[in-house]
Amino acid sequence: MHKGEIVLQVYLAVTPGEFQEASKYGRAFAHVAYRVGPGSTLLRQNLLLQTRGGLLSVSDREAPLIEDPEALCAAVLRECGRRGYTGVVLDFEEAPRRDRVLFAQRLGQVLSAGRRALYVPESYSSAAQNAVVLICTAISGGSFTERLQEAAQSRGGAGRLALDVQRLRMDFRLPARSGEGTPLSGEALGHLMERESPAVFFSQDLCARYFTYCRNGETHFVLFDDAGTLNQKLKTGANMGFSAAFLMWPEVPDIAGKLNLR
């Protein structure tokens, strides 16, 4: 490490079944093993006994109403103490609802009091003032750097932000006026590149690679990330002062050895 270099804490988000393989590459983990259960309980998948440290990641997928946020907060704190977690990630996918917002607000307060961090989706940025907001890196228009700068300005500094590093693989039919494309799996992208043998370019604005091809008289624009572009996004966030970054393990096992995860 060079003198003055900014260190970005990079977390791999892993399920219990993915942890051992991912631990060959990363040192810090968000444990995707928790969800909100009936009666404002915290449900947990089976974790290895030696699982300690990192972050607790809790999902609201198919979760019932959080009727007692205090009880759920208490359950989260107990689990943090039991496992030595230094913070919590709210992996909330649904649009903010009143019960979720109240829980996020209260959890932010109790975690802050215990010097633990809370990470929330951007849609919850106004719900928990003490939380670190996750900013998605997968953009298909505008400027990646400007996106991060604007987020930092709106939040009062990059230190209260973290990168949600989503691996972009998208096929757009031109003209893509809606900005919506078709997601590609890694396998589908590989087959497409093998078939088309395209010339691949790098977009400085989007911090992603791209190529074009034609099919049935239509022009397609394909935008994708690889290890190089993801490392560039991590470096950009670090240089701006972002506090952390998150990558989902299922999106990166093929390039994990080339990523700056440590």
- Between 102 and 46, the more confident residue is 102
Which CATH number characterizes residue 253's domain? 3.20.20.80
Per-residue model confidence (pLDDT) at position 35 = 96
Per-residue model confidence (pLDDT) at position 175 = 81
Per-residue model confidence (pLDDT) at position 237 = 96
Q: Could you tell me if residue 4 is inside a domain? A: no
Contact (Cβ atoms closer than 8 angstroms) between residue 15 and residue 33: yes
Q: Supply 36's token pair.
A: 């909100």
Contact (Cβ atoms closer than 8 angstroms) between residue 163 and residue 137: yes
pLDDT in tens, 44-99: 998 876 788 999 999 999 999 999 999 999 999 999 999 999 999 999 998 899 99
Residues 254, 262: Cα–Cα separation, whole Å: 17
Asked if residue 13 and residue 124 are part of one domain, the reply reads yes
Asked if residue 105 and residue 18 are part of one domain, the reply reads yes
Per-residue model confidence (pLDDT) at position 7 = 75
Asked if residue 138 and residue 32 are part of one domain, the reply reads yes
Asked if residue 201 and residue 93 are part of one domain, the reply reads no
How many independent structural domains does the chain possess?
2
pLDDT in tens, 227-262: 999 999 999 999 999 999 999 999 999 999 999 986
Residues 179, 202: Cα–Cα separation, whole Å: 19
DSSP conformation class of 26:
-
Per-residue model confidence (pLDDT) at position 128 = 79
Cis peptide preceding 175, ω within 30 of 0:
yes
The pTM (predicted TM-score) of the whole model is 0.92
Angle at 139 between CA 135 and CA 142, to 5 degrees: 110
pLDDT at residue 2 greater than cutoff 70: no
Per-residue model confidence (pLDDT) at position 4 = 43
Q: Domain of residue 125: give its range.
A: 9-167+226-258
Q: Is 239 left (phi over 0), alpha (psi -120 to 50) or beta?
A: alpha
pLDDT in tens, 103-154: 999 999 999 999 999 999 999 998 877 899 999 999 988 999 999 999 999 9
Q: Could you tell me if residue 3 is inside a domain? A: no
Q: Could you tell me if residue 79 is inside a domain? A: yes
DSSP 3-state of 83: helix
Asked if residue 120 and residue 43 are part of one domain, the reply reads yes
State the chain's mean pLDDT as an integer: 93
Helices and strands of the chain, counted as H and E runs: 6, 14
